[in-house]
Amino acid sequence: MRTVRTQPRVLLALKTAFAASVAWLLAPLIPLADAEYSYYAPLGAVISMYPTLVRSVRTGVQALAGLAVGAAVAFAALALGGPSVVSVALVVGVGVLLAGIRVLGAGRDWVPITGLFVLLVGGIDADEYSVNYLVHMVLGVIVGVIVNVSIVPPLYLQTAEARLNRLRDLVAERMRDLAEWVREHPGDDHDWSEPMADLEETARSVREEVREADESRRGNPRGRNAGKKIDEEYQRLRALERVLFFLRDLTDVLGGFQSVDERVADSDRHGSGRQAHDWQPGQAARSELSAAIEDAATLVASDMYGDQSRDHLAAAEASLDSLDGALDERAEGRPSRVAGQVAAAVSLRRIVDAARPFVA
């Protein structure tokens, strides 16, 4: 039972199996319908079962709309004559065209399929077949929705929160890696594009999790008081996306330090190293910048409104103030000498500002 409660896919599988079985048992009891077509009722239950109630209802309605459109296409083809090579081509071609109607959503794929069923299986009895087909599918969809809303209606707030926490930890870990590289490997080149691309892909996945959590509370009796919680999760997500944006900018700036180092070496070989060295961040500058990145990472990793979050914010701001002061002294009236380091400091301050609303 713990597995069922903690693994949404397992719960969905059990509920879908139950809904299909119930639809199969109820199908022969439909008045004025032919029990011969009862097998379409479980199919209707299956196509209406989705992880969230809103999607379950929406998909069920869209599927039924697709069935109706497909049946209409088949009737139009049958009006021109019985099943033939031409009518099959016509139903499939027109059905695929109509499947491009966006409003049909999940029902789009059913347009050509239903058209073929009514044309080839229904044939001369297309009227009787299509009515029974639609009636049994409607029954299955209704059973599926009722089962979904009645048996542990899904609510994914905890899943979204866990994924957000994981994303937060991954971002902070990447910032610490960046700080170590700045401090310990001043002359080594490093491509940060792949690690950042992985983080951004994770962020897109987490956004989908939060969207699904928001969807799962709508129409859900278990989610009546979840509005404030989901708003908070969206705020956290947007803040982490801002952190990622400025972290990407920071890695681009710091990656530029390496190209500066290469220019320095080239300038030294040609006897013009003084101007290049004006741009090169020395070890002291790297240490200050590394410390500021570390403190910002600690702030990002803080628990939301945690007891220590105020201390972490104060430490991050102190590191940034110290870095700004050192840059002012190092500039000596020539801001261009520390332009890259200033850009890095600005990105760091934006990261700190993004995390500030979640400090106790």
Q: So what's the pLDDT on residue 1?
A: 61
Interval 70-88 mean pLDDT:
89
Q: So what's the pLDDT on residue 273?
A: 45
Same-domain check for residues 38 and 135:
yes
- Percent of all residues in the chain with a pLDDT value above 70, rounded to a whole number: 88
d(CA 179, CA 175): 6
In this predicted structure, which of 24-38, 40-54, 79-93, 281-295 has the lowest mean pLDDT?
281-295
Q: So what's the pLDDT on residue 268?
A: 47
Domain final residue, candidates 117, 150, 183: 150
Longest dimension (CA), the chain: 97
Same-domain check for residues 145 and 289:
no
d(CA 5, CA 104): 33
Q: What is the separation, in whole angstroms, between the first and last Cα of the chain?
A: 37
Looking at residue 345, its amino acid is: A
Q: So what's the pLDDT on residue 238?
A: 94
Domain range for 175 is: 158-358
d(CA 147, CA 154): 12
Domain final residue, candidates 110, 131, 150: 150
Same-domain check for residues 170 and 129:
no
Task: Choose between 335 and 297: higher pLDDT.
Answer: 297
In whole numbers, what is the pLDDT of the chain averaged over residues?
84
Looking at residue 148, its amino acid is: N
Task: With a cut of 80, say whether residue 90 has pLDDT above it.
Answer: yes
Same-domain check for residues 172 and 67:
no
Q: So what's the pLDDT on residue 34?
A: 83
Same-domain check for residues 142 and 168:
no
Domain final residue, candidates 150, 170, 186: 150
Task: Choose between 255 and 78: higher pLDDT.
Answer: 78
Condensed to tens digits (0 to 9), the pLDDT of residues 96-119 reads 999 999 999 989 999 999 999 899
In the block, residue with structure tokens 């890259």 = 340
Q: Whole-model pTM?
A: 0.74
Condensed to tens digits (0 to 9), the pLDDT of residues 230-283 reads 888 999 999 999 999 999 998 888 876 655 444 444 444 444 444 444 445 566
Same-domain check for residues 115 and 247:
no
Residue 297, Cβ density class (10 Å: 0-12 exposed, 13-18 middle, ≥19 buried): buried
- Percent of all residues in the chain with a pLDDT value above 90, rounded to a whole number: 45
- How remote is the C-alpha of 40 from its chain's centroid? 34
Same-domain check for residues 290 and 348:
yes
Q: So what's the pLDDT on residue 18?
A: 96
- How remote is the C-alpha of 171 from its chain's centroid? 16
Condensed to tens digits (0 to 9), the pLDDT of residues 309-343 reads 999 999 999 999 988 888 777 766 666 667 778 88
Are 141 and 48 in contact by the 8 Å Cβ rule? The answer is: yes
Same-domain check for residues 315 and 229:
yes
Crossing angle (nearest 10°) for helices 339-355 and 309-331: 160
